[in-house]
Amino acid sequence: MKSFDAIVIGAGQAGPFLAARMVEKGMKVALIERKFLGGTCVNAGCMPTKTLVASARAAHVARNGAVYGVNLQGEIAIDMKVVKARAETVTMNARNGLIGWFAGMDGMTVIYGHARFEGPKTVGVNGETLTAPRIFLNVGARPVIPDLPGINDIDYLTSTSIIDLDTLPRHLAVIGGSYIGLEFAQMYRRFGAEVSVIEHGPKLASREDEDISDAIADVLRSEGIDIHTGASDIAFARSSHGITVATDSARIDASHVLIATGRKPNTDDLGLDAAGIITDKHGYITVDDRLATNVDGIWALGDCNGRGAFTHTSYNDFEIAAANLLDGDDRKVSSRILAYALYIDPPLGRVGITEKQARASGRKIMISTRPMSRVGRANERGETKGFMKVIADAETKKILGAAILGIEGDEVIHGIIDAMNAGTTYPALQWSVPIHPTVSELIPTLLGDLKPV
């Protein structure tokens, strides 16, 4: 049996950085990863997909160059092999950077293999048993494959496997109208494929307010994406042309199908029962406000704990654990103000609660909206789709939430994120003097238009 001061299972966005901090403190740490360092973000999520989004935007801008007085001769050609290779390079650079970083750390042992608990303090991997007083789980999540008629008879894609595609689909059918599916839908439409989005629910991006969801749908439809919401009886069958996707109201002749119906935690094959670790009905590891499981000395970080499904929340889990265990602090998950983005173009930046949630809370609230067509930067760029929206508490004057669907919305939202984290009231933020011409300069004006509802 090999002994360590700490064992980290999974090398996503929380575990490796926590391991590095513990090594800096002179601890002996084992980092176990069954596949690739960097987790979903580096290998199958943020980095490769946003690289693909950038290639798709380049195609879109080139295709619309005449609007800006830039005339290109002939059709815009997409070399999907180059597109894929570029994304792969970005991934490999990040992965190899982690490999090199860990190789230079005394006290860090990186083990590639499938770890399983043998007891509360022991883990088996590659035929060996490891033990440590502290064990951290950062095992991430994977795509959910729904049990739909005919799904096992077709060769479907997931958000992981589609990244390896180096040819352009004739017609991509995306099953699922949430964040991952919508990003791939617009991306492949811009590459030149016909695209259909099939969503069981009544609207796209169901987490958002109805006006945001409607605006997202308008953006995608304006680029020629076919959207089917409220779809039921979804079924698949092979055809002479590829794959037939049938619903209660549509029949789609697709060449490729992307399943984007959610993700589930990678917790079903870790031997959690042997350690006595409790999970909820969806397989997420139950943790307290400081990310500790029900078993003393075991913590769960990142996607597998169900407290956040983003790279930045996973990294914040690392920050919370490190602050509490290594720096004598007392940080809590409940103090985190959730923010995220949807990387269609234009992007959606979101923070805090929605209008629907604010109304349901019973607070006296104020709301303001402003179309992106009123933003100078948007007009100068010729990108006026979308709008800004902010919700505030009428009594405390604190900002409760905001959504910016529009050019640079994923960056502009950070001004509001920072204000909310600092506890700044909206009247104080109104008196900031933003730079002109930017998208952010409209935030004081947006706040000035807040009205009670």
Cα separation, 322 vs 316, whole angstroms: 10
Cβ count near 133 (within 10 Å)? 12
The pLDDT score that the predictor gives to residue 241 is 84
DSSP string, 237-272: EEETTEEEEE-SS-EEEESEEEE-S-EEES-TTS-H
If you write DSSP's letter for every residue of 317-351 in order, what string do you get?
Answer: HHHHHHHHHHS-----GGGPPPEEEE-SSS-EEEE
Q: Is residue 119 within 8 Å of 275, Cβ to Cβ?
A: yes
pLDDT at position 169 is 98
Q: What is the Cα–Cα distance from 111 to 121, expressed in whole angstroms?
A: 17
Measured in residues, the chain has a length of: 453
Pairing outcome for strands 108-112 and 116-119? unpaired
| Total-model pTM | 0.96
For position 260, what pLDDT does the model report? 98
Between the alpha carbon of residue 198 and those of residues 233, 287, 342, the distances in Å are 11, 34, 18
Gap between the Cα atoms of 34 and 381, Å rounded: 45
* Beta pairing, strands 141-143 & 263-265: antiparallel
Residue 58 makes CB contacts below 8 A (sequence gap 6+) with none
Q: Supply the residues annotated as catalytic.
A: 436
Contact 273, 3 (CB under 8 A): no
Structure tokens that stand for 413 in this block? 């939202």
Helix (H) or strand (E) holding 54, with range, is helix 46-63
Q: CA 413 to CA 354: how far, in whole Å?
A: 14
Give the pLDDT of the chain (453 residues) as one tens digit per residue. Answer: 999 999 999 999 999 999 999 999 999 999 999 999 999 999 999 999 999 999 999 999 999 999 999 999 888 999 999 999 999 999 999 999 999 999 999 999 999 999 999 999 999 999 999 999 999 999 999 999 999 999 999 999 999 999 999 999 999 999 999 999 999 999 999 999 999 999 999 999 999 999 999 999 999 999 999 999 999 999 999 998 899 999 999 999 999 999 999 999 999 999 999 999 999 999 999 999 999 999 999 999 999 999 999 999 999 999 999 999 999 999 999 999 999 999 999 999 999 999 999 999 999 999 999 999 999 999 999 999 999 999 999 999 999 999 999 999 999 999 999 999 999 999 999 999 999 999 999 999 999 999 999
Q: Which amino acid is at 102?
A: F
- Neighbouring CB atoms inside 10 A of 62's CB total 13
Q: How far is CA 337 from CA 135, 173, 209, 316, in A?
A: 27, 35, 18, 11
pLDDT at position 116: 98
- CB-based contact 289:332 (threshold 8 Å): yes
Closest residue by Cα to residue 159 from 133, 183, 137: 183
Query: What is the pLDDT, as a whole number, of residue 396?
Result: 98
d(CA 109, CA 21): 14
CB 221 within 8 A of CB 298: no
Going from the N-terminus, what domains does the chain have, and what CATH number goes with each? 2-142+264-335 (3.50.50.60), 151-261 (3.50.50.60), 339-452 (3.30.390.30)
Q: Which of 284, 308, 418 is nearest to 14 (CA)?
A: 308
